[in-house]
Amino acid sequence: MTKNNNNGVAKPKMSLFSVVMLALSSIIGSGWLFGSWEAAKISGPAAIISWIIGAIVIGAIAYIYIELGTMFPESGGMSKYAGYTHGPLLGFIASWANWVSLVTLLPIEAVAAVQYMSS
């Protein structure tokens, strides 16, 4: 058996483009299909302002994750951060919640796309 010399840190095997596309598909989801239409019907042109405010908030959250990722350069992401701040139980719960959300993402997106295309 060969010895692993990377000190427990996983080597990245995805390209930058793959990671960005994965993140965008998780963030955007089907909300843009339904959310923008409903928001425009209810609030009219003011919906654009809400999209700008939402982009600023999401940008701030992304910046926080960038900072945490550079402070703690190890694999684990959200579950590690929750474990550092609130203990191992919450880190475990955050890991499973993240896993469940990613596993259910594809079927939910498929149903939303079919519903959108059928209307």
pLDDT (0 to 100) of residue 60: 94
pTM: 0.56
pLDDT (0 to 100) of residue 29: 65
62 vs 106: CA distance, rounded Å: 22
Q: How confident is the model at residue 31 (pLDDT cuts 50, 70, 90)?
A: low
Q: How confident is the model at residue 92 (pLDDT cuts 50, 70, 90)?
A: very high
Q: What number of other Cβ atoms are within 10 A of residue 109's Cβ?
A: 16
Q: Residue 51: is its pLDDT beyond 80?
A: yes
DSSP 3-state percent helix, strand, coil across the chain (nearest 5): 80, 0, 20
pLDDT (0 to 100) of residue 65: 86
32 vs 47: CA distance, rounded Å: 12
